[in-house]
Structure 1
């Protein structure tokens, strides 16, 4: 918990430094530009920092083209560069292992031929001194083979350690690539992957699957009234509440902006409505205070749309139906849950009146 608090404090610190840097240079606060300048302020990306320092020193204006190039070169491609580095390391380890194995196979072949030769010589020798000499030679050859085997074992141990480190690095990269940097829940890319998996599992096993799409009501007012840093804290609060109120197999993701999505495998439509209502009421029950700014924010309200997967439809169609429910919740006064059956009943009622 202390570690999480330190990480959060550090993130807030960099947030407070990033926005003035961008404002001073009249850089639009798009997600891409923000990612570039957050990395610059944090100082972890040394190549990016050196590049921007050089541009600042030359008084280079930060045009839209330059901002886009910085993002493409130092943020967007960073993941691929890291993956390429891991791939090259794995290739090197495999090649080294192949060389060692080839040497070992060659050595074993020589050893086998030596054993065959010793066997033939022993069969033809009756002189004990000659047999003793053969045994001495055999022991020497066996000792050489033992040492070679020990060397191979040491090499294998070292390679195992290197592969373990690479696996940990791959897991770290995968987590970074699939995690929203601000809220620490899944990002849109990871959501798309998880939704396709959930749909595939639902089809194969004939299991129910439901989807929640959730939007923070009047979120723009938080940003306008209290600033983007406070708005970011509200986003993290909602993400945390979602994670606390779903079960292990469910997937919480930041869908974009102030919108979140929750994939609910093996969950019926009725239970999904209960989950959505539980999340909505628990979020609304909290009175938020920004302790850093000593400001009372009040309650946060959310609107939620709920859809049940229909066999054979695409992920886009599934999301679209959940979005329609969300729009209905927003247009009906916000701070409420609307499920797709409500839309169906409403449509049927309208058709009957006509």
Structure 2
């Protein structure tokens, strides 16, 4: 592997080790956008970005979501997700190359050490000519030196391998976090955007039909206004868990935004999707929520409304969601705690 690849790996490890602790110390969420900003800051390649962040740090500016968004929008080029994926892909390739070299160098070092040890033993046992003795002594000294070098090399390679493993784990953790809603633990909007693109591509290439459920928590604002946002968060997590427990296999559930969720059901026709929607409604509504405070205050039953849409040959990511949303709004206007499919709507 070329020296510049080794240098790239070492730099990637160094930048990663600087980036995540800095974000953690400043209480900055590790999102793809925030990570891109602070990775570039750590690398020092974006001078304007570094000057802006240094000014903020020197003046005690708090890195609020608004400040983070401003930094990202102002100083990061317009292809962030691709850049993150590219950095990760390049790093992973460097990691693979390095691991292969570690294996080869380690095996070569062991073989060379074994050869030297055999030669050393043979020379020690056959000192037949005095003039050769000095050569033997020198060879023994050189052998010892090479053995020490090899031992040092192996220690360095082992340490580097550990660094690579840490880097790989950190990148995998970052990738998972970037696709996970931190409150509910299910997939987030970014993960959904990738999923709907895959579902649509599979439909157009392989005719694999799927249905979509748009889901909204009924009277969610009332929970927030009456009991506070912490209870609202509890309700969101409760509904997310119920949805996750019902969907199976290759079904996909995500938090779409606010109190709205989305479910993708592969190989599920319109009527089947309505059935799943009703099961979700029933599972959510059957549990009475309570607060774990002294007398266990009863919050009541949470309900959801569901809109159903099925993919068509004309669909893109926006159109199928729009139809699902129309059906969802009809369900909320109809009675709430119910399922309405797009075919029930007036043309």
Instruction: Show the counterpart of 2:254.
Output: 253
Deviation at 1:324, TM superposition (A): 1.5
* Counterpart-to-counterpart distance in 2, 1:342 and 1:307: 11
> What SS does the aligned partner of 1:267 have?
coil
Instruction: Show the counterpart of 1:203.
Output: 204
Of 325, 328, 345, the residue aligned with 1:326 is 328
Deviation at 1:315, TM superposition (A): 0.9
> What SS does the aligned partner of 2:336 have?
coil
Instruction: Show the counterpart of 2:310.
Output: 308
> What SS does the aligned partner of 1:212 have?
strand
* Counterpart-to-counterpart distance in 1, 2:57 and 2:293: 33
Q: Which moved more, 1:226-235 or 1:197-206?
A: 197-206
Is 2:274 aligned against 1:288?
no
Deviation at 1:243, TM superposition (A): 0.6
* Counterpart-to-counterpart distance in 1, 2:237 and 2:181: 10
CA contact (8 A) 1:178 1:189 kept: yes
Question: Aligned pair in 2 of structure 1 residues 298, 54: CA closer, same or farther (>3 Å)?
Answer: same
Question: Aligned pair in 2 of structure 1 residues 225, 151: CA closer, same or farther (>3 Å)?
Answer: same
Deviation by residue 1:321-351 (Cα, 9 ceiling, x = unmatched) = 11111112112121111122323xx43xxxx
Deviation at 1:184, TM superposition (A): 1.5
* Counterpart-to-counterpart distance in 2, 1:250 and 1:151: 52
Deviation by residue 1:72-116 (Cα, 9 ceiling, x = unmatched) = 459x99x99xx79x87x959x87x969x99xx7xx99xx9xxxxx
Question: Aligned pair in 2 of structure 1 residues 168, 205: CA closer, same or farther (>3 Å)?
Answer: same
* Counterpart-to-counterpart distance in 2, 1:155 and 1:51: 36
Instruction: Show the counterpart of 1:161.
Output: 162
Instruction: Show the counterpart of 1:116.
Output: none
Instruction: Show the counterpart of 1:46.
Output: 26
* Counterpart-to-counterpart distance in 1, 2:183 and 2:298: 22
Deviation at 1:279, TM superposition (A): 0.6
CA contact (8 A) 1:302 1:335 kept: yes
TM-score (normalizing by structure 1) = 0.61
The count of residues paired between Structure 1 and Structure 2 equals 266
Deviation at 1:305, TM superposition (A): 0.8
Query: Mind listing any 5+ residue stretches in structure 1 that lack a counterpart?
Result: 1-42, 57-61, 112-127, 348-354
> What SS does the aligned partner of 2:166 have?
helix
Deviation at 1:223, TM superposition (A): 1.4
* Counterpart-to-counterpart distance in 2, 1:282 and 1:311: 32
CA contact (8 A) 1:97 1:156 kept: no
* Counterpart-to-counterpart distance in 2, 1:184 and 1:245: 15
Instruction: Show the counterpart of 1:297.
Output: 299
Deviation at 1:45, TM superposition (A): 3.4
Query: Mind listing any 5+ residue stretches in structure 2 that lack a counterpart?
Result: 1-22, 29-55, 113-127
Deviation at 1:68, TM superposition (A): 2.4
TM-score (normalizing by structure 2) = 0.62
Question: Aligned pair in 2 of structure 1 residues 156, 224: CA closer, same or farther (>3 Å)?
Answer: same
> What SS does the aligned partner of 1:184 have?
coil
Question: Aligned pair in 2 of structure 1 residues 157, 241: CA closer, same or farther (>3 Å)?
Answer: same
Deviation by residue 1:93-144 (Cα, 9 ceiling, x = unmatched) = 87x969x99xx7xx99xx9xxxxxxxxxxxxxxxx869x88x9688887777
